[in-house]
Amino acid sequence: MMKQYYIFYKPFNVLSRFSPEGEKRTLADYFNNIEKDIYPVGRLDYDSEGLLLLTNDKQITHQLLEPSHAHPRTYLVQVEGMITQDAINNLQQGVMINVNGALYKTKPALAAIPDKEPELPERDPPIRFRKNIPTSWVKLTLTEGKNRQVRKMTAATGFPTLRLVRYSVGSITIDDIAPGSYKTMDESVKDLLLRR
Q: Is 45 a catalytic residue?
A: yes
In the chain, residues under CATH classification 3.30.70.1560 are: 72-169
The 10s digit of each residue's pLDDT in 125-158 is 888 777 788 999 999 999 998 889 999 999 999 9
pTM of the predicted protein model: 0.94
Q: Which residue type sits at 80?
A: E
**Second CATH level (architecture) for the domain 72-169:** 2-Layer Sandwich (3.30)
3-state helix, strand, coil in the chain (%, to 5): 20, 30, 50
Q: Give me the catalytic one of 29, 37, 45, 186.
A: 45
Cβ atoms of residues 151 and 164 within 8 Å: yes
The 10s digit of each residue's pLDDT in 57-102 is 998 888 888 777 778 999 999 999 999 999 999 999 999 999 999 9
CATH 3.30.70.580 fits 1-69+171-196, yes or no: yes
